[in-house]
Structure 1
Amino acid sequence: MTPATPPHPGPGITLASTDSATTPAPEPPRPPACVTTTNGHPVTKPSATSGLENLPVIPKRTQLKGAQRDTFLQQILEIYDSGASIRDISEQTHRAYGSIQALLRGAGVLRGRGGDQHQRRPRASSS
């Protein structure tokens, strides 16, 4: 007896090869994090994250008080002033985004959100 061959799928249809030698090539390394400016040119993000590894990891549900809070605030202020984002700081320290934002807001150093900062002129009323 001859082994049964699978039926042909039809004209114009090809079956996928099961050859393991045709594995996809590995992904090329990703470029450094870039920010696109208003003129469309990519600019490499400043290395603000270089100090993030020095930030302490605070266990969840731990309330910071007194000197511990002041020390933590000084550490995140230094990193935030060097250009790190609130999200980067919160991920590294395992603190909520809102708690980092509240500390920075209390210190009076919160950066603006960007975007259109122009105030709109009131429309002239036509009489």
Structure 2
Amino acid sequence: MRNIYEINKDFIDNWLIKYQVNKWKKREQKFEWQAGKDISDLKYSFIQLRQSGIRCKRPIKFPTLVAMVQIPIIYDNFNNAWRYLTPRETANLQSFPKNYKLHNEIKLENKDFYSYKQTVW
């Protein structure tokens, strides 16, 4: 990382000032690239907002699901936008049967919070 910084020092220092990174929360200041060298675009990784920072993982295996606070973000090519996994997607990843009713499917007024808690242990 030091080598990358030295090569890009002017750009990085100006960017840090422009976006006032010193005022960001601690977890927003750490960026972990775990997607490998062959992936060069965030759109092709899974993003997790963790207490320790922002982590980008390879899309070969899905990252650990942690209820309510670390639902992975993926790029939706169809809608050309970033989004969180839905509660149904988290249930599908864990092999819940298709007929298994999630909390937000039983009580439509409830937020996804309860469904994530139900499917992510």
Whose strand fraction is larger, Structure 1's or Structure 2's? 2
State the TM-score bracket (shorter-chain normalisation). Answer: under 0.3
Larger radius of gyration: 1
Structure 2-normalised TM-score? Answer: 0.24
Structure 1-normalised TM-score? Answer: 0.23
